[in-house]
Structure 1
Amino acid sequence: MALAVFALVLGIYARHNSLLPYLAGVYAVPSVLVFRLYGWDKRVAVRGGSRTSEQSLHLLALAGGWPGAMLARSLFRHKTRKQPFTGIFWCTVLFNVGTVSVLLGEVG
Protein backbone atom coordinates (compact mmCIF):
# COMPACT_ATOMS: atom_id res chain seq x y z
CA MET A 1 0.00 0.00 0.00
CA ALA A 2 2.74 2.45 0.97
CA LEU A 3 4.57 1.65 -2.24
CA ALA A 4 1.48 2.36 -4.34
CA VAL A 5 0.91 5.70 -2.60
CA PHE A 6 4.56 6.64 -3.12
CA ALA A 7 4.36 5.78 -6.83
CA LEU A 8 1.15 7.78 -7.18
CA VAL A 9 2.66 10.86 -5.54
CA LEU A 10 5.75 10.62 -7.73
CA GLY A 11 3.50 10.30 -10.79
CA ILE A 12 1.61 13.45 -9.82
CA TYR A 13 4.84 15.38 -9.23
CA ALA A 14 6.31 14.13 -12.53
CA ARG A 15 4.18 16.59 -14.45
CA HIS A 16 5.64 19.54 -12.58
CA ASN A 17 9.19 18.55 -11.82
CA SER A 18 12.01 17.71 -14.21
CA LEU A 19 13.89 15.87 -11.44
CA LEU A 20 11.44 12.95 -11.36
CA PRO A 21 12.77 10.90 -14.29
CA TYR A 22 16.18 10.89 -12.63
CA LEU A 23 14.65 10.12 -9.26
CA ALA A 24 12.92 7.08 -10.73
CA GLY A 25 16.31 5.76 -11.82
CA VAL A 26 17.80 6.51 -8.42
CA TYR A 27 15.11 4.31 -6.88
CA ALA A 28 15.05 1.62 -9.56
CA VAL A 29 18.69 0.56 -9.40
CA PRO A 30 19.01 0.05 -5.63
CA SER A 31 15.50 -1.41 -5.45
CA VAL A 32 16.36 -4.15 -7.92
CA LEU A 33 19.61 -4.87 -6.11
CA VAL A 34 17.95 -4.96 -2.69
CA PHE A 35 15.13 -7.15 -3.99
CA ARG A 36 17.67 -9.69 -5.24
CA LEU A 37 19.68 -9.44 -2.02
CA TYR A 38 16.59 -10.20 0.09
CA GLY A 39 15.86 -13.20 -2.12
CA TRP A 40 19.41 -14.43 -1.78
CA ASP A 41 19.41 -13.86 1.99
CA LYS A 42 16.15 -15.80 2.36
CA ARG A 43 17.59 -18.69 0.38
CA VAL A 44 20.75 -18.69 2.51
CA ALA A 45 18.66 -18.48 5.71
CA VAL A 46 16.73 -21.60 4.73
CA ARG A 47 19.97 -23.46 3.96
CA GLY A 48 21.77 -22.22 7.07
CA GLY A 49 24.58 -20.32 5.35
CA SER A 50 26.30 -17.00 5.95
CA ARG A 51 23.74 -14.18 6.01
CA THR A 52 23.65 -10.52 5.01
CA SER A 53 23.80 -8.26 8.05
CA GLU A 54 20.64 -6.43 9.05
CA GLN A 55 22.62 -3.19 9.13
CA SER A 56 23.51 -3.66 5.45
CA LEU A 57 19.88 -4.31 4.55
CA HIS A 58 18.81 -1.14 6.39
CA LEU A 59 21.52 1.01 4.80
CA LEU A 60 20.56 -0.20 1.33
CA ALA A 61 16.88 0.51 2.05
CA LEU A 62 17.83 3.99 3.23
CA ALA A 63 19.87 4.54 0.06
CA GLY A 64 16.72 4.23 -2.04
CA GLY A 65 16.25 0.49 -2.11
CA TRP A 66 13.24 0.43 0.21
CA PRO A 67 10.69 -0.17 -2.59
CA GLY A 68 12.55 -3.34 -3.59
CA ALA A 69 12.94 -4.33 0.05
CA MET A 70 9.23 -3.83 0.65
CA LEU A 71 8.31 -6.02 -2.32
CA ALA A 72 10.86 -8.67 -1.38
CA ARG A 73 9.74 -8.80 2.26
CA SER A 74 6.21 -9.49 1.12
CA LEU A 75 7.04 -11.88 -1.71
CA PHE A 76 9.71 -13.92 0.07
CA ARG A 77 8.12 -13.55 3.53
CA HIS A 78 11.54 -12.56 4.78
CA LYS A 79 12.16 -10.33 7.80
CA THR A 80 8.44 -9.63 8.18
CA ARG A 81 7.93 -10.62 11.82
CA LYS A 82 11.33 -9.93 13.29
CA GLN A 83 11.52 -6.99 15.69
CA PRO A 84 13.20 -4.54 15.88
CA PHE A 85 14.05 -5.08 12.19
CA THR A 86 10.55 -4.14 11.04
CA GLY A 87 10.46 -0.94 13.11
CA ILE A 88 13.87 0.16 11.89
CA PHE A 89 12.89 -0.67 8.31
CA TRP A 90 9.82 1.60 8.54
CA CYS A 91 11.99 4.37 10.00
CA THR A 92 14.29 4.13 6.98
CA VAL A 93 11.26 4.34 4.67
CA LEU A 94 9.85 7.40 6.47
CA PHE A 95 13.23 9.13 6.55
CA ASN A 96 13.79 8.42 2.86
CA VAL A 97 10.34 9.57 1.77
CA GLY A 98 10.61 12.67 3.97
CA THR A 99 13.98 13.58 2.49
CA VAL A 100 12.67 13.17 -1.05
CA SER A 101 9.62 15.28 -0.20
CA VAL A 102 11.82 18.08 1.07
CA LEU A 103 14.07 17.87 -2.00
CA LEU A 104 11.10 17.96 -4.36
CA GLY A 105 9.70 20.94 -2.48
CA GLU A 106 13.03 22.77 -2.77
CA VAL A 107 13.50 22.00 -6.47
CA GLY A 108 9.85 22.44 -7.45
Structure 2
Amino acid sequence: MTLFIYLLWNVIAFFLVGYDKRQAQRGGQRIQEKTFFYDALFLGALGVLLGLYFFRHKTRHRAFTWGIPLLLILNLAILYFFWKQGVI
Protein backbone atom coordinates (compact mmCIF):
# COMPACT_ATOMS: atom_id res chain seq x y z
CA MET A 1 0.00 0.00 0.00
CA THR A 2 2.83 2.41 0.86
CA LEU A 3 4.52 1.80 -2.48
CA PHE A 4 1.24 2.46 -4.28
CA ILE A 5 0.84 5.81 -2.51
CA TYR A 6 4.44 6.74 -3.34
CA LEU A 7 3.93 5.91 -7.02
CA LEU A 8 0.61 7.73 -7.16
CA TRP A 9 2.14 10.83 -5.53
CA ASN A 10 4.92 10.86 -8.15
CA VAL A 11 2.50 10.39 -11.04
CA ILE A 12 0.51 13.37 -9.77
CA ALA A 13 3.75 15.39 -9.47
CA PHE A 14 4.68 14.45 -13.02
CA PHE A 15 1.37 15.62 -14.44
CA LEU A 16 1.47 18.76 -12.30
CA VAL A 17 4.60 19.81 -14.18
CA GLY A 18 2.88 19.07 -17.48
CA TYR A 19 -0.13 21.11 -16.44
CA ASP A 20 2.07 24.06 -15.53
CA LYS A 21 3.86 23.82 -18.88
CA ARG A 22 0.53 23.93 -20.70
CA GLN A 23 -0.61 26.89 -18.63
CA ALA A 24 2.67 28.68 -19.44
CA GLN A 25 2.13 28.15 -23.15
CA ARG A 26 -1.46 29.37 -23.03
CA GLY A 27 -0.87 32.29 -20.67
CA GLY A 28 -3.07 30.75 -17.98
CA GLN A 29 -2.79 30.68 -14.22
CA ARG A 30 0.50 29.05 -13.24
CA ILE A 31 1.51 26.85 -10.35
CA GLN A 32 3.87 28.50 -7.88
CA GLU A 33 7.44 27.22 -8.02
CA LYS A 34 7.46 26.53 -4.30
CA THR A 35 4.63 24.04 -4.88
CA PHE A 36 6.98 21.92 -6.98
CA PHE A 37 9.62 22.04 -4.25
CA TYR A 38 7.14 21.12 -1.51
CA ASP A 39 5.88 18.26 -3.65
CA ALA A 40 9.46 17.11 -4.25
CA LEU A 41 10.34 17.45 -0.58
CA PHE A 42 7.44 15.21 0.44
CA LEU A 43 8.67 12.25 -1.63
CA GLY A 44 7.55 13.51 -5.04
CA ALA A 45 10.98 14.44 -6.40
CA LEU A 46 11.09 11.59 -8.90
CA GLY A 47 7.83 12.66 -10.52
CA VAL A 48 8.84 16.33 -10.62
CA LEU A 49 12.26 15.53 -12.06
CA LEU A 50 10.85 13.24 -14.75
CA GLY A 51 8.22 15.86 -15.56
CA LEU A 52 10.80 18.62 -15.90
CA TYR A 53 12.71 16.74 -18.56
CA PHE A 54 9.77 15.02 -20.25
CA PHE A 55 7.87 18.29 -20.72
CA ARG A 56 11.08 20.35 -21.08
CA HIS A 57 9.84 22.74 -18.45
CA LYS A 58 11.99 24.85 -16.10
CA THR A 59 15.16 23.07 -17.18
CA ARG A 60 17.02 26.38 -17.43
CA HIS A 61 16.31 27.29 -13.82
CA ARG A 62 19.29 26.42 -11.64
CA ALA A 63 17.08 25.97 -8.61
CA PHE A 64 15.28 23.18 -10.43
CA THR A 65 18.23 21.53 -12.18
CA TRP A 66 20.14 21.28 -8.89
CA GLY A 67 17.44 21.42 -6.23
CA ILE A 68 15.11 18.70 -7.45
CA PRO A 69 17.90 16.10 -7.95
CA LEU A 70 19.17 16.88 -4.44
CA LEU A 71 15.67 16.39 -3.10
CA LEU A 72 15.49 13.10 -4.99
CA ILE A 73 18.62 11.94 -3.16
CA LEU A 74 17.00 12.99 0.12
CA ASN A 75 13.82 11.11 -0.88
CA LEU A 76 15.82 7.96 -1.58
CA ALA A 77 17.58 8.25 1.77
CA ILE A 78 14.23 8.61 3.54
CA LEU A 79 12.79 5.63 1.67
CA TYR A 80 15.86 3.57 2.54
CA PHE A 81 15.48 4.52 6.21
CA PHE A 82 11.80 3.52 6.20
CA TRP A 83 12.68 0.27 4.45
CA LYS A 84 15.32 -0.57 7.06
CA GLN A 85 12.80 0.16 9.81
CA GLY A 86 10.30 -2.21 8.22
CA VAL A 87 7.74 0.49 7.49
CA ILE A 88 7.79 -0.16 3.74
Using structure 2 for the length normalisation, give the TM-score. Answer: 0.83
- 1:53 and 1:77 map into 2 onto residues whose CA distance is 17
Unaligned runs of 5+ in 1: 1-21
Counterpart of 1:32? Answer: 11
Question: Which amino acid in structure 2 is aligned with residue 29 of structure 1?
Answer: L
Give the match's secondary structure for 1:51. Answer: coil
Question: 1:31, 1:66 within 8 Å by CA — same for their partners in 2?
Answer: yes
Q: What is the Cα-based RMSD across aligned positions, in Å?
A: 1.7
Matches within 5 A, 1:1-80: 22-80=1-59
Unaligned runs of 5+ in 2: none
1:40 Cα shift?
Answer: 0.7
- 2:12 and 2:44 map into 1 onto residues whose CA distance is 7
Question: Which amino acid in structure 2 is aligned with residue 79 of structure 1?
Answer: K
What fraction of aligned residue pairs are identical, expressed as a percent?
32
Question: Which amino acid in structure 2 is aligned with residue 26 of structure 1?
Answer: I
